[in-house]
Amino acid sequence: MTAAGGERDAGLPAGRPSGLVGKEVAGYRVEAEIGRGGMAVVYQARDLRLDRTVALKLLAPELARNDTFRKRFAHESRVAASIDHPHIVPVFEAGETEGVLYIAMRYVAGRDLAALLAREGPLPPVTAGRIAAQVASALDAAHAHDLVHRDVKPGNVLVAEGTDREHPEHVYLTDFGLTKKSLSLTGFTTVGEFVGTLDYVAPEQISGKPVDGRCDVYGLACVVFETLSGVPPFRRETDWAVLWAQQYDPPPPLAEFRPGLPEAADAVFARALAKTPEERYGTCLEFVAELRAALAEEPGGPAVPTGVVPRAPGPPPEPPVWARPVFRRLGDGS
Ligand SMILES: Nc1ncnc2c1ncn2[C@@H]1O[C@H](COP(=O)(O)OP(=O)(O)O)[C@@H](O)[C@H]1O
Ligand SMILES: [Mg+2]
């Protein structure tokens, strides 16, 4: 790490990266801090070789000290960088400089979904559906490369301006493979505090079982639930209560938080948020397609229940033969 004046930035490897504005890191000039999560700081930076703006993510030094994480970081950054998808943030470079892991990626102008929800509150179902579909297509593409995201959450969904009226927003998913393999490994600090959020983790991640793309179906469903209702499905007072709820509680009806949303959506969430991966939708796009269809129905239930032919206006049809005695008697009494 070299500071702008050629001095070594002694602060970086020791603590969390900070105070780097104006300095040079691995060929990038740090221009401004964009945001920070539990394990990293993201900066707007200038790629000095190509003279373009990038987002430079510096991971907390303790992650570099974890061998399992480093190996996975190297592998998964490579896989993520190899996926060329319109809804995945392109990774330009991933590496290590003086004991700090970094990723340079496309700088996305806009807000992340967490900030958007904080500002606007729950989004209209049509908007939520559009955003969900873009994230779903990114996840399904990653799954086709055997890459599981594991940390689908509003902070990792970047919402930029879209191209036209039909596509008012362009959504990017970021941070593939940047979480620890299981929560038991490292998610908790030595004092038992959890770094990050438990609101979107699948039950199998909590129990440390092997995960596949279906843990992202679960995470996506939690995010979409929050996009529609303003709160994730299992909001509780403490981290422990959230962990319990993710594993054992059924998701609440959407209308509990936002009256007027069609009941049909609850069944879709029940399946996407099933406790066992086998019971969930097989792909993220399948979940989103069913959800959008459900959201298009009338609030309070389907306007036309599936499988039931609507009755034409006019007098009721003649009862079937077997029912005639009953109806004749009713008719006689009136
Ligand atoms: N490629 C990017 N372009 C623009 N902003 C980004 C980019 N990647 C991340 N950010 C911003 O930086 C913030 C911090 O990112 P991160 O450290 O991953 O924390 P978290 O994902 O927990 O919010 C994100 O919430 C997002 O707003
Ligand atoms: Mg992130």
Asked if residue 303 is part of any domain, the answer here is no
Residue 189 has pLDDT above 50, yes or no: no
Find the mean pLDDT for residues 204-212.
90
Are 200 and 253 in the same domain?
yes
Are 95 and 237 in the same domain?
no
Are 230 and 195 in the same domain?
yes
Q: Which ligand is nearest to the CA of 175?
A: 2
| Nearest atom (ligand 1) to Cα of 108 | 3
Asked if residue 16 is part of any domain, the answer here is no
Asked if residue 81 is part of any domain, the answer here is yes
Asked if residue 2 is part of any domain, the answer here is no
Two structure tokens written together for 25: 């890191």
Highest mean pLDDT among 142-146, 195-199, 226-230: 226-230
Asked if residue 324 is part of any domain, the answer here is no
Name which residue leads in pLDDT, 148 or 185: 148
Phi, psi of 325 (to 5 degrees): -55, -40
Are 227 and 99 in the same domain?
no
Whether 170 and 146 have beta carbons less than 8 Å apart is answered as: no
Asked if residue 314 is part of any domain, the answer here is no
Residue 312 has pLDDT above 60, yes or no: no
Query: Is 153 part of any known ligand binding site?
Result: no
Q: How far apart are CA 34 and CA 171, in angstroms?
A: 18
Would residue 51 show up in a list of annotated catalytic residues for this protein?
A: no
Q: What is the pLDDT of residue 143?
A: 94
Are 157 and 50 in the same domain?
no
- Kindly write down the DSSP assignment for every residue of 73-110, as one continuous string: HHHHHHHHHH---TTBPPEEEEEEETTEEEEEEE---S
**CATH code at position 38:** 3.30.200.20
Whole domain around residue 63: which residue ranges? 24-106
Helix 284-295 and helix 125-144, axial crossing angle in degrees, nearest 10: 170
Query: Is 34 in a helix, a strand, or coil?
Result: strand
Name which residue leads in pLDDT, 141 or 178: 141
Task: Choose the final residue of a domain: 280, 295, 310.
Answer: 295
Two structure tokens written together for 95: 């590496």
Are 115 and 100 in the same domain?
no
Are 217 and 145 in the same domain?
yes
Asked if residue 74 is part of any domain, the answer here is yes
Dihedral sign from CA coordinates of 271, 172, 112, 94: positive
Q: Among all chains, which residue has been given the structure tokens 């990626």?
A: 105
Asked if residue 144 is part of any domain, the answer here is yes
Min mean pLDDT across 65-79, 96-110, 230-244 is at: 65-79
Q: What is the pLDDT of residue 92?
A: 94
Q: Measure 329 CA to ligand 1 centroid, in angstroms.
A: 72
Q: What is the pLDDT of residue 315?
A: 58
- Kindly write down the DSSP assignment for every residue of 179-228, as one continuous string: S-SSIIIIIB-TTSPBSS-STT--HHHHTT----HHHHHHHHHHHHHHHH
| Nearest atom (ligand 1) to Cα of 34 | 12
Q: Which ligand is nearest to the CA of 63?
A: 1
Q: What is the pLDDT of residue 191?
A: 45
Q: How far apart are CA 151 and CA 63, in angstroms?
A: 16
Q: Measure 132 CA to ligand 2 centroid, in angstroms.
A: 17
CA dihedral 275, 279, 280, 281 (to 10 degrees): 180
Are 54 and 139 in the same domain?
no
Are 94 and 123 in the same domain?
no
Find the mean pLDDT for residues 100-127.
96
Order the strands of the 167-173 sheet from edge to edge. Answer: 111-112, 157-164, 167-173
**CATH code at position 274:** 1.10.510.10
